């Protein structure tokens, strides 16, 4: 994507800040340098085609080099970082363009023609090597490779977003909102999942490989498959609902947005409104210092309350959470950190040792257990679904009388509801990047 003026203006300060953070981390762990490798292309078995390239996010934190396999960055405390910019003489594939001034100015850029040019880097006696390329890992001492204390430190630092990162994520939210609107229009026009997906990508001129994750484009009961990946080409005979979980990227920073729509007014539309209201209350409760586990449990009580209000369960909301009944209808965590990775790093650790912060018992899929800090960006994505295998398991092994099965059977055609926003934590009112982005479309 093209860089907005406001974004590139923030970049210099971003690099200066992450230089400071890397320098501190290297010094604290006793390293002379870190060599961060982009990664290499992965070729499929018995073939000469490659999987879509995904750059090492540690390199992306420094530079927006999303397509630049085999580039590498040398980081040394107190010195300008040095970029080995891999630009092969290639006529099978288009090589990377020349470095662009808006990011190159912060680095000593050395264009290189050989993929292994980084081996000449002056790393010093005690260097760390960060990345996963095969040629890279086989060339260095295993205990210098991805040292866990160093990486934990950097991962924790990555949870505190700079102004540049926030600007990228706000723009990724804007793109996501534009594409979501196009997809909703396509749904209302009766298009298939496949065609809705095409409309989504066309609206923001991204191809699949540029999306942060595979779009989840789910009509009717497909909404109950949490990471539904098929893009069916047939339009169902009757349309009941549409769940769209899809984002966008700007300089490698992601948005991760879900909206659910009813095909017509009625009870399902009312349930979506109830979930939306609850989700907004959760977003409004996001503040620095909050233990995210408490908010997750509050979300479960909210979902259970809605199940009760719609007479789907017969127990109290509290009992439904305590017995695991609520998890049958809501089997994932309330949210996760977001950034260069959709499920961003360090959601479950306390310190450089990687000391785990445990999940609440009975909540194995929660990806974020930390106390929130200003600068964190995370998703708030409560869900409520009618998932056949989980319902069947409960019917066979749980208290089957706690569920109103007639209601469940009637609701199954809708699949489920998820509402997902991306929220920036501050010391005061949280900034909801997603609601802001949808509001921007209204003006
Ligand atoms: N789109 C994946 C997730 O919401 O976590
Ligand atoms: Mn999502
Ligand atoms: Mn998510």
How confident is the model over 316-354, as pLDDT tens digits?
A: 999 999 999 999 999 999 999 999 999 999 999 999 999
Residue nearest to atom 3 of ligand 1 (CA): 256
Structure confidence at residue 4 as a pLDDT band (50, 70, 90): low
**What does the alpha-carbon distance between residue 128 and residue 140 come to, in Å, rounded to a whole number?**
9
In the 3-class helix/strand/coil scheme, how is the chain assigned residue by residue? CCCCHHHHHHHHHHHHHHHHHHHHHHHHHCCCEEEEECCCCCECCCCCCECCCCCCHHHHHHCCCCCCCCCEEEECCCCCCEEEEECCCCCCCCCCCCCCHHHHCCCEEEEECCCCHHHHCCCCCCEEEECCCHHHHHCCCHHHECCHHHHHHHHHHHCCCCHHHHHHHHHHHHHHHHHHHHHHHHHHCCCCHHHHHHHHHHHHCCCHHHCCCCCEEEEHHHHHCCCCCCCCCCCCCCCCEEEEEECCEECCEECCEEEEEECCCCHHHHHHHHHHHHHHHHHHCCCCCCEHHHHHHHHHHHHHHHHHHCCCECCCHHHHHHHCHHHHHCCCCCCCECCCCCCCCCCCECCCCCCECCCCCCCCCCCCCCECCCCCEEEECCEEECCHHHHHHHHHHCCHHHECHHHHHHHHHHCEEECEEEEECCCCCCEEHHHHHHHHHHC
CATH number at residue 35: 3.40.350.10
**Ligand 1 pocket test target in 381, 385, 418, 422 with most atoms within 8 Å of CB:** 381
* Average pLDDT score over residue span 299-315: 98
| C-beta pairs of 194-198 under 8 Å, 24+ apart in sequence | 194/231, 194/232, 194/233, 195/233, 196/242, 196/244, 197/231
CATH number at residue 270: 3.90.230.10
Q: Which residues line ligand 1 (CB under 6 A)?
A: 213, 245, 256, 342, 381, 420
205 and 338 assigned to the same domain: yes
Query: pLDDT value at position 396?
Result: 98
The 10s digit of each residue's pLDDT in 229-287 is 999 999 999 999 999 999 999 999 999 999 999 999 999 999 999 999 999 999 999 99
Structure confidence at residue 3 as a pLDDT band (50, 70, 90): very low
How many Å lie between the centroid of ligand 2 and the Cα of residue 422?
10
Please determine, for residue 1, whether its predicted confidence score (pLDDT) is greater than 90.
no
Query: pLDDT value at position 133?
Result: 86
Among 158, 176, 201, the domain-final residue is: 158
How many Å lie between the centroid of ligand 2 and the Cα of residue 341?
12
238 and 279 assigned to the same domain: yes
The 10s digit of each residue's pLDDT in 394-443 is 999 999 999 999 999 999 999 999 999 999 999 999 999 999 999 999 98
242 and 376 assigned to the same domain: yes
How many Å lie between the centroid of ligand 1 and the Cα of residue 340?
14
Question: In terms of DSSP bridges, do strands 241-246 and 82-86 run parallel, antiparallel, or are they unpaired?
Answer: unpaired
Average pLDDT, rounded, for the chain: 97
Please determine, for residue 19, whether its predicted confidence score (pLDDT) is greater than 80.
yes
Among 134, 158, 182, the domain-final residue is: 158
Question: 159 phi and psi, to 5 degrees?
Answer: -75, -15
The closest-lying atom of ligand 1 relative to the alpha carbon of residue 247 is 1
204 and 79 assigned to the same domain: no
Q: Which conformational region is residue 372 in: left (phi greater than 0), alpha (psi within -120 to 50 degrees), or beta?
A: beta
**Which residue(s) pair with 314 in the sheet?**
none
Please determine, for residue 214, whether its predicted confidence score (pLDDT) is greater than 90.
yes
Query: pLDDT value at position 443?
Result: 80
Q: Which residues have C-beta within 8 Å of that of residue 76, sequence separation ≥ 6? A: 26, 32, 33, 124
The closest-lying atom of ligand 1 relative to the alpha carbon of residue 245 is 1
Considering its fold, how many domains does the chain have in total?
Answer: 2
* Average pLDDT score over residue span 355-381: 98
82 and 226 assigned to the same domain: no
Among 158, 193, 227, the domain-final residue is: 158
145 and 168 assigned to the same domain: no
Determine what percent of the chain is predicted with pLDDT higher than 70.
99
135 and 205 assigned to the same domain: no
The closest-lying atom of ligand 1 relative to the alpha carbon of residue 246 is 1
How many Å lie between the centroid of ligand 2 and the Cα of residue 421?
9
Query: pLDDT value at position 135?
Result: 86
**Ligand 1 pocket test target in 214, 217, 258 with most atoms within 8 Å of CB:** 258
**What does the alpha-carbon distance between residue 172 and residue 164 come to, in Å, rounded to a whole number?**
12
Please determine, for residue 5, whether its predicted confidence score (pLDDT) is greater than 70.
no
178 and 123 assigned to the same domain: no
* Average pLDDT score over residue span 142-155: 97
73 and 208 assigned to the same domain: no
67 and 185 assigned to the same domain: no
Whether pTM > 0.95 for this model: the answer is yes
How many Å lie between the centroid of ligand 1 and the Cα of residue 333?
10
* Average pLDDT score over residue span 354-383: 98
Domain that holds residue 59: 3-158
232 and 281 assigned to the same domain: yes
Contact 336, 367 (CB under 8 A): yes
* Average pLDDT score over residue span 110-125: 95
192 and 147 assigned to the same domain: no
* Average pLDDT score over residue span 178-201: 98
């Amino acid at each position: 994507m093209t860089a907005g003026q406001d974004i590139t203006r923030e970049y210099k300060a971003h690099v200066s800040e992450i230089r400071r953070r890397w320098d501190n981390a290297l010094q604290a762990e006793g390293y002379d340098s870190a060599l961060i490798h982009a990664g290499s292309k992965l070729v499929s078995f018995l073939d000469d085609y490659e999987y879509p390239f995904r750059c090492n996010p540690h390199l992306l934190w420094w530079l927006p080099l999303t397509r630049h396999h085999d580039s590498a960055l040398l980081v040394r405390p107190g010195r300008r970082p040095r970029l080995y910019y891999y630009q092969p003489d290639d006529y099978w594939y288009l090589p990377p363009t020349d470095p662009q001034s808006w990011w190159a100015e912060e680095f000593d850029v050395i264009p290189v023609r050989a993929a292994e040019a980084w081996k000449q880097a002056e790393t010093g006696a005690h260097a760390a090597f960060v990345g996963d390329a095969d040629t890279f890992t086989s060339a260095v001492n295993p205990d210098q490779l991805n040292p866990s204390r160093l990486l934990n430190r950097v991962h924790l630092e990555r949870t505190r977003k700079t102004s540049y990162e926030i600007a990228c994520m706000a723009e990724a939210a804007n793109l996501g909102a534009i594409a979501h609107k196009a997809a909703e229009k396509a749904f209302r026009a009766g298009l298939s999942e496949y065609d809705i997906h095409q409309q989504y990508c066309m609206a923001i001129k991204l191809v699949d490989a540029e999306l942060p994750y595979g779009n989840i484009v789910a009509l009717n009961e497909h909404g109950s498959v949490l990471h539904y990946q098929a893009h069916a080409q047939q339009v169902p005979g009757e349309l009941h609902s549409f769940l769209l979980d899809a984002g966008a990227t700007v300089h490698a920073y992601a948005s991760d947005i879900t909206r659910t729509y009813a095909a017509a007014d009625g009870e399902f539309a009312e349930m979506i409104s109830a979930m939306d209201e609850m989700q907004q209350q959760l977003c409004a409760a996001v503040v620095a210092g909050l233990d995210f586990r408490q908010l997750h449990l509050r979300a479960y009580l909210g979902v259970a309350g809605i199940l009760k209000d719609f007479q789907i369960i017969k127990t109290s909301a509290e009992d439904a959470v305590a017995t695991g009944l609520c998890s049958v209808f809501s089997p994932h965590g309330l949210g996760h950190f977001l950034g260069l990775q959709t499920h961003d790093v360090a959601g479950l650790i306390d310190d450089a040792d990687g000391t785990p912060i445990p999940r609440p018992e009975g909540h194995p899929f929660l990806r974020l257990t930390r106390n929130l800090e200003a600068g964190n960006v995370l998703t708030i994505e409560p869900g409520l679904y009618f998932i056949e295998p989980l319902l069947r398991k409960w019917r066979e092994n749980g208290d089957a009388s706690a569920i109103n099965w007639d209601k469940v059977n009637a609701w199954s055609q809708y699949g489920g509801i998820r509402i997902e926003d991306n929220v920036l934590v501050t010391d005061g009112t949280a900034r909801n990047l997603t609601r802001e982005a949808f509001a921007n479309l209204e003006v």
